[in-house]
Structure 1
Amino acid sequence: MSAPFSSAPDFLLAKTDAELLFLVQNPGFYHADLVATARQELQRRGVAWALPPASVEAAPPEINEDSERPWLLPALGLGLVVLAAVLYWWPTGNKSWKNKNGPVPSRELVAVQTHLMPSFDSLTKAQVRQMPALLPAAERQDTTAQRKFLLLAGRFWEAENQSAYLFQEAEAARIDSTFPGQVELTLDKWKRLTSVLVYNHKLQPTMSEQLELMHRAALLRRETLTTMKNFYIYGQPPLDQGLRYFNDSVTVMRQTLLGVPPQNRIRPMEELQKRVDAEVARKAMPQV
């Protein structure tokens, strides 16, 4: 039987004020002992905390993935016309010019290793298709609210799938110099969601509850991704026990949104305890 979890203060000491504040302000997703310890650590640091203020109700913008940038095509067309005119009248110089040192030797193409972000379009669409079945039948009758809800859910899963991928790559030590840029791209995906969550979209109750869960996951992902990126930039391991715990917490939120029964969801505190026990056992092994 594992020892009581006594390492929580140790990894909380390494957390930033922002990470501790997020944990304290979202107690419903974390073990009560961990929340209490985080609150004590904030008090020790002299950091005041309070529940986040209620958002001001405002008229939401129309969410339409097909017409978010109605100016884009006309602007591109005008730009192409201007570019064609410039190229037509641009002086081409002396076509009889020759290099004084002879022909310029052709350069050998060198393969450069790249680490591209995969596309999660198919997975995102499948996840969005699952969500209406989890809504009460009466709420599905409100087709306007359901359409808005599913558009927001699409933005959530688009960002979340990329975030989960980056975490897995960091855990498997498969990240390279493209990692900070990939994090920034993913943070932009999250911003597309959180920037419109300040509005009241007049959703049905269950939709609003699920959207609030998405918002909490978004805040946690943004905080952890930024921390991982900074760790990598400064030459430190991109993950620690605290970040792994937060990833498990988001995993529970994912499972909740996809309708995984409570008994089948992971338990972040238990997973953290297993990792701590494994680390203690590893350090106790005799060094060869």
Structure 2
Amino acid sequence: MPELPEVETVARQLARAIVGKTVARVVVFAPKSVRGRPLTPLVGRAVTGVDRRAKLIRIACGEWTLLVHLKMTGRLLRLPAGHPTGPYTRAVFTFTDGTQLFFDDIRRFGYLMLLPSADAEAHFVREGYGPEPLAPDFDANALAACLARRPRARIKAALLDQTCIAGIGNIYADETLFAAGIRPTRPAGRITRAERAALWTAIRDILTRSIAARGSSSVNYRDTAGRSGNFVRFLQVYGRNGDPCPKGDGGVIHKTVVAGRGTHWCPKHQK
């Protein structure tokens, strides 16, 4: 599933490409990909902003805001006028200049949801999303407060909990815990202050570097130009079961299951 860096990449690319454009037509090929009200109110409205909250993209069009959740295999692709639809195209947004935005989704887990802009922020409050890990006010104390709400949870499970911290998924939970030297099965309440500081630093650093590399493409993720993310080249443990630990001193990457997710870690360096 695209995580914070991948969704942030898509949102930034869309902000540069479609803000100011006016929606001329919306065609939905898979009604189940649309949650709630139809998308027709977008027709005739200009895009006024695009950003990200948690793992969702927010496309503001005046008094309406479109939420897009890519889930496992969703993609938002910028395509030229007249580009044909594919077998996984679920919706197409055509702008008055003829350019198009395709919502493709192989497994159909992703969705589009239209909300009044006045209610868009309240939606995230109702859903219980936690703080943004790259927000200026998310410091080591904020991380400690998040973990304190789930002291008995395994630390990886706490990081995956979107009500604890928004946007982190399987890839970046593994990578940040490795960087901080923390075993993924440790109870969140037993992480020391020094370890929390190391984890906070790792979260901020790794997410920021991944955004700069347009995210990680382990399987399905593509940016709006259809390109794979480059950060997969810099992953230290995720997807590397059986490989030597990148620290180069005899450790070996293991794979286990934590919180129902495949988890990669180094027993020698994560305690």
Q: TM-score, normalised by structure 2?
A: 0.27
Q: Comparing both chains, which one has the higher relative contact order based on Cα–Cα distances under 8 Å and sequence gaps of 6 or more?
A: 1
Q: Which has the higher helix share?
A: 1
Q: TM-score, normalised by structure 1?
A: 0.26
Q: Which has the higher strand share?
A: 2
* Larger radius of gyration between Structure 1 and Structure 2: 1
